[in-house]
Structure 1
Amino acid sequence: MAVLNFTFSCSSKPQHLSKHQLPISPQGPNQLKFKDEHSFSFGESVSKACLTALVSASVFFAVDPALAFKGGGPYGSEVTRGQDLTGKDFSGKTLIKQDFKTSILRQTNFKGAKLLGASFFDADLTGADLSDADLRGADFSLANVTKVNLTNANLEGALVTGNTSFKGSIITGADFTDVPLREDQKEYLCKIADGVNPTTGNNTRETLFCK
């Protein structure tokens, strides 16, 4: 994390300026009042301004906003939000509640990964391998899930609102229990659905309520 350093020079002693040195208008909402005929004190104002500036300067700033999401969830130690992770291997990893929002995950390997509650909001998962993955409660809202391998994946309670598309994906043995699919997506998936999930024992077609 990069830190921005600031240096201020403030004087605690009251300053006095001659009204001849600081011309001001005798009218208006910002009119300054002189202590006497020749001078006014603004030491107190300067001190307050310096204190405010110093407090503000004590704040640390991250140059890359993505660093604020390091770790994503309670598991994992890598920055995964808003990143290009094309082809990266996450197979078998425990990535519960990991944050993959808006990331590029094309051909990324999540085979057998534990991704409960993970967020793939607006992510591009084209061609990714999510076979045997635990995706219960994962968020696929607005995600591109085309040509994804979801063989034997458990998607119970996953979110797929918005323009989420599973076009061209493999869903043999996938469990879609309590997944709120759009009607057009449900019809599409029912055309290719088959198999039974080895973990839950649920028939894929039945979890989709296929006719």
Structure 2
Amino acid sequence: MFFRLLVTFLFACSVFCYPLPVHAKSIACDGKQLVGADLSGQDLQEVKITYCNLDQANLADAKLIKASIQHTTLNNANLHGADFTNSDTYNISFNGADLTDAIFTGSLLQRASFDGANITGADFSSTLIQPVRERLKLCDVASGVNPTTGVVTRDSLGCW
């Protein structure tokens, strides 16, 4: 009986006293809406976001480094200064979003839409934007210099 209690105690200590391994954060909306959510300044590194409606959400200065974002809308969202470095996105909409001073360095933006987005000072260095027509449309409105990286927005997009 004593041995059984000792084993139970040691097992409980191992479960509750030692930290568990950290896993990537995940936000699976599956149709739920996070319209207008305030995630400003949040550390969302390596987060996985799928099927979310984040329209009008506030993600200003959020760290979305190495994030995976799929089938998500961020229309009219505040993404001022957000860091998407090395992120992978698919079927994402930034229409009307404030992307001022955002960083997309090394990211993959597949099936991305930026209609009416403010990209002043955004850094798209080494970023693949598909379809290509989206990059060309961004060149029409690109201006400014990213205050963090010092990169000219037009140069980061490869505009002529």
* Contact 1:111/1:129 (8 A) holds in 2: yes
User: Any unmatched runs of 5+ in structure 1?
Assistant: 1-70
Q: Which residue of 1 aligns with 2:152?
A: 203
**Letter of the 1:126 counterpart:** N
C-alpha displacement of 1:73: 2.1
Q: Which residue of 1 aligns with 2:11?
A: none
**Letter of the 2:116 counterpart:** G
Identity %: 35
Q: Provide Cα deviations, 1:148-171, integer angstroms capped at 9, x if missing partner.
A: 11100010011111x211111000
SS in structure 2 at match of 1:189: helix
User: Any unmatched runs of 5+ in structure 2?
Assistant: 1-21
Change (3 A) 1:191 1:72: farther
- TM-score of the aligned structures, taking structure 2 as reference length: 0.80
Q: Tell me the distance in 2 between the aligned counterparts of 1:132 and 1:171.
A: 10
C-alpha displacement of 1:140: 2.4
- TM-score of the aligned structures, taking structure 1 as reference length: 0.61
CA RMSD, aligned part only?
1.6
Aligned pairs for 1:170-189 within 5 A: 170-181=118-129, 182-189=131-138
Alignment match of 2:117 (pick from 169, 181, 206): 169
Which structure has greater strand proportion? Answer: 2
SS in structure 2 at match of 1:164: strand
Q: How many residues align?
A: 136
Alignment match of 1:103 (pick from 34, 52, 61): 52
* Contact 1:90/1:110 (8 A) holds in 2: yes
The structure showing larger relative contact order (alpha-carbon pairs under 8 Å, at least 6 residues apart) is 2
